[in-house]
Amino acid sequence: MSVSAVFVLDLKGKVLICRNYKGDVDMSEIDHFFPILMQQEEEGLLNPVLSHGSVYFMWIKHNRTERGTSSYSDCLCVCVYQVFTEYFKELEEESIQDNFVVVYELLDELMDFGFPQTTDSKILQEYITQEGNKLEVAKTKVPTTVTNAVSWRSEGIKYKKNEVFIDVIESINVLPRGIGHLHDVNANGSVMSSDIVGSIKLKTMLSGMPELRLGLNDRVLFALTGRDKGKTVAMEDVKFHQCVRLSRFESDRTISFIPPDGESELMSYRINTHVKPLIWIESVIEKFSHSRVEIMVKAKGQFKKQSVANNVEVRVPVPSDADSPKFKTSTGHAKYVPEKNLVVWTIKSFPGGKEFLMRAHFGLPSVENDELEGKPPITVKFEIPYFTVSGIQVRYMKIIEKSGYQALPWVRYITQSGDYQLRTNT
């Protein structure tokens, strides 16, 4: 279970940087990678794991840089991707070559003999120096954090004002299913598949080694302790940052941890409930072959009147050969984006309970396009502040540090669109 080598390639498949960890793979194997990738792409069989002989490449594409790992032995797949995402937050992809010394240093620390070691970017920053020659001057000791049980926080952090900011962000995914479902499930056309992916993010500005405890209105917790006051939320699945004591949570649902300094995602959760889609879209797209397409889209805010959705974008697909757009909107602004075959209808502020309308008219060429076009869904983007769909609440955040300082937690709630797709009725 280990990685033989890591390569960073540019868009044309040229090797920018490589690191051979085990020496069991010929480094020229990477030459086969790109041709195979291209071939598979052409055949429509593209796949995150490619093979050439006994060498296996796991690759991801990051903006304009391709990255591949070649692995010889039976190897860990999932890990590799995460390493990349982690450290590439650190590096601007254009500057890989400019900073190759640092990149090599990073690659060295990330993995040893193909075994992933430390991937926490904050900690790596502590002892990976930006200029290679600083070594002699400053660093005379390994940050204890690297090998500590608390590997994500250094000692001796100091803030004048101790604060912690908590952001509760819920993304709502909506995948309305085919017409066939609608009458199967619910006569009024409500959505079949919807789930909420929430995440709690921290910005910690606390001195020392504080012990934190987060209280949520978790249904399981309330059932355990016998309290049943107020609304509770049943979380389907919870994932925690490595700082959270998982066994403690497993036994009594207490979320206790020593937080990493600065920004981090403390936890994420998934809730599988049938929620009304916050912004409901009804659409009529009438296509008159050889002449025109007429689109009518109605958007309805199905959330509390006091709340307001910001930056709402409704993206409506149009045929690729459509031309001469004309729009009429009851509010906001509609724009044709020909390169994506979309009409984007933007509404800056969308109060709950309101209903808006957009009409679009496109011409179609008299010669029909032969290519079969798919039926892309309408997608919606929005943000509703001070509000969570699930009703999750931070009930308390206890902060205990041995110096005994007082610290203030600040909480913000926001709901946004995740994978929010609605099928068009044509």
Partner 1 sequence: MTDSKYFTTNKKGEIFELKAELNNEKKEKRKEAVKKVIAAMTVGKDVSSLFPDVVNCMQTDNLELKKLVYLYLMNYAKSHPLCTDCEDPNPLIRALAVRTMGCIRVDKITEYLCEPLRKCLKDEDPYVRKTAAVCVAKLHDINAQMVEDQGFLDSLRDLIADSNPMVVANAVAALSEISESHPNSNLLDLNPQNINKLLTALNECTEWGQIFILDCLSNYNPKDEREAQSICERVTPRLSHANSAVVLSAVKVLMKFLELLPKDSDYYITLLKKLSPPLVTLLSGEPEVQYVALRNINLIVQKRPEILKQEIKVFFVKYNDPIYVKLEKLDIMIRLASQANIAQVLAELKEYATEVDVDFVRKAVRAIGRCAIKVEQSAERCVSTLLDLIQTKVNYVVQEAIVVIRDIFRKYPNKYESIIATLCENLDSLDEPDARAAMIWIVGEYAERIDNADELLESFLEGFHDESTQVQLTLLTAIVKLFLKKPSETQELVQQVLSLATQDSDNPDLRDRGYIYWRLLSTDPVTAKEVVLSEKPLISEETDLIEPTLLDELICHIGSLASVYHKPPNAFVEGSHGIHRKHLPIQHGSSGPAAPVDQPQVIPSQGDLLGDLLNLDLGPPVNVPQVCSMQMGAVDLLGGGLDSLVSDPIIIMHPTLCGWKNIIYVLLSNSWSGPGLISVDFLLLLAVLNFCVLQVWLPAAKAKGLEISGTFSRRQGHMYMDMSFTNKALQHMTDFAIQFNKNSFGMIPTTPLAVHTPLMPNQSIDISLPLNTIGPVMKMDPLNNLQVAVKNNIDVFYFSCLIPLSIFFVEDGKMERQVFLATWKDIPNENELQYQIKECHLNADTVSGKLQNNNIYTIAKRNVEGQDMLYQSLKLTNGIWILAELRIQPGNPNYTVKNTLNEKVCPNLWPVLYNIIWMQLWMYYS
Residues of span 53-82 touching partner 1 by CB under 8 A = 53-54, 56, 58, 60, 71-79, 81-82
Q: Which of 122, 18, 125, 114 is nearest to 74 (CA)?
A: 114
Nearest approach, Cβ of 54 to partner 1 (angstroms)? 4
Give strand pairing partners of 270.
197, 237
The residue (of 31 and 419) whose beta carbon lies closer to partner 1 is: 419
The residue (of 83 and 399) whose beta carbon lies closer to partner 1 is: 83
- Structure-token pair, residue 304: 């509390």
Based on the shown chain and the rule CB under 8 A, indicate whether residue 247 belongs to the binding site for partner 1: yes
Binding window for partner 1 (CB under 8 A); candidates: 51-59, 201-209, 219-227, 350-358: 51-59
Contacts of 157 (CB under 8 A, 6+ apart): 206, 207, 208, 261
Binding window for partner 1 (CB under 8 A); candidates: 87-95, 159-167, 231-239, 328-336: 231-239
Q: Cα–Cα distances in Å, from 229 out to 127, 252, 415?
A: 49, 19, 24
Nearest approach, Cβ of 406 to partner 1 (angstroms)? 30
Based on the shown chain and the rule CB under 8 A, indicate whether residue 117 belongs to the binding site for partner 1: yes
The residue (of 162 and 421) whose beta carbon lies closer to partner 1 is: 421
Nearest approach, Cβ of 308 to partner 1 (angstroms)? 27
- Give the end-to-end CA distance of the chain in Å, rounded to a whole number: 51
Q: 305 to 364, contacts with partner 1 by CB under 8 A?
A: none
Q: Which of 242, 271, 234, 277 is nearest to 258 (CA)?
A: 242
Interface with partner 1 (CB under 8 A), residue total 82
Site string for partner 1, 373-392 (x = CB under 8 A): xxxxx---------------
Based on the shown chain and the rule CB under 8 A, indicate whether residue 33 belongs to the binding site for partner 1: no
The answer to whether the beta carbons of residues 216 and 271 sit under 8 Å apart is no
Nearest approach, Cβ of 304 to partner 1 (angstroms)? 27
Based on the shown chain and the rule CB under 8 A, indicate whether residue 246 belongs to the binding site for partner 1: yes
Binding window for partner 1 (CB under 8 A); candidates: 5-13, 119-127, 208-216, 279-287: 119-127
Based on the shown chain and the rule CB under 8 A, indicate whether residue 197 belongs to the binding site for partner 1: yes
Cα 379 from Cα 175, distance rounded (Å): 10
Question: Which helix (H) or strand (E) segment is 335 a member of?
Answer: strand 333-337
The residue (of 178 and 404) whose beta carbon lies closer to partner 1 is: 178
Based on the shown chain and the rule CB under 8 A, indicate whether residue 205 belongs to the binding site for partner 1: no
Cα 259 from Cα 150, distance rounded (Å): 9
27 exposed, middle or buried (CB, 10 Å; 0-12, 13-18, 19+)?
middle
The residue (of 62 and 305) whose beta carbon lies closer to partner 1 is: 62
Nearest approach, Cβ of 344 to partner 1 (angstroms)? 16
Nearest approach, Cβ of 198 to partner 1 (angstroms)? 11
Binding-site member from 31, 94, 98, 112 for partner 1 (CB under 8 A): 112
Cα 162 from Cα 164, distance rounded (Å): 7
The answer to whether the beta carbons of residues 400 and 210 sit under 8 Å apart is yes
Q: What are the φ and ψ backbone dihedral angles of 32, each rounded to 5 degrees?
A: -80, -20
Q: Cα–Cα distances in Å, from 379 out to 127, 190, 312?
A: 44, 16, 11
Binding-site member from 10, 32, 127, 282 for partner 1 (CB under 8 A): 127
The residue (of 136 and 228) whose beta carbon lies closer to partner 1 is: 136
Q: Which of 338, 324, 340, 350 is nearest to 415 (CA)?
A: 350
